[in-house]
Structure 1
């Protein structure tokens, strides 16, 4: 089964990931025909992404990504990059 991201996050999903969500939680949502789960940091930025198909328990089988979000001392973003971490099962 090949998923939308296929090791690269598309522009439409990037827009959703740029939004702020409830801090320090797991957020579930739908993106096109995919189920998505996001884990947020203490500021509400998504830092962990699961995308694929959710089973009856809500566990997503698909792909996992982590975000590298580096800020300087004034809070300005220096680096913002999503890394593909492999398949989830």
Structure 2
């Protein structure tokens, strides 16, 4: 799985700094952590299990618009 243009547009926005944000995007559950400037730097995408943890994949931002897949979660 690779983040598409719609998801990248969502991740290019500013959010509350140093916070974990959860939302639903299309058919996936998302959670992302932001840095001190409010830019998402760590992304979890997949489906939540019964305990509320996302089962899917983890991505880390390397540069603006570039996310590296860090494996399954």
TM-score interval w.r.t. the shorter chain? Answer: over 0.9
**SS of residue paired to 1:38:** strand
Q: What is the alpha-carbon distance in structure 2 between the residues aligned to residue 57 and residue 21 of structure 1? A: 25
Structure 1 unaligned runs (5+)? Answer: 1-5, 70-79
Q: What is the alpha-carbon distance in structure 2 between the residues aligned to residue 58 and residue 40 of structure 1? A: 20
Q: How does 1:6-85 map to 2 (within 5 A)?
A: 6=1, 8-69=2-63, 80=64, 81-85=66-70
Q: Return the TM-score normalized by structure 1.
A: 0.77
Structure 2 unaligned runs (5+)? Answer: none
Which 4+ stretches in 1 moved above 2 angstroms? none
Aligned residue-pair number:
72
Largest Rg, 1 or 2: 1
Once superposed, what is the RMSD of the aligned Cα atoms? 0.9
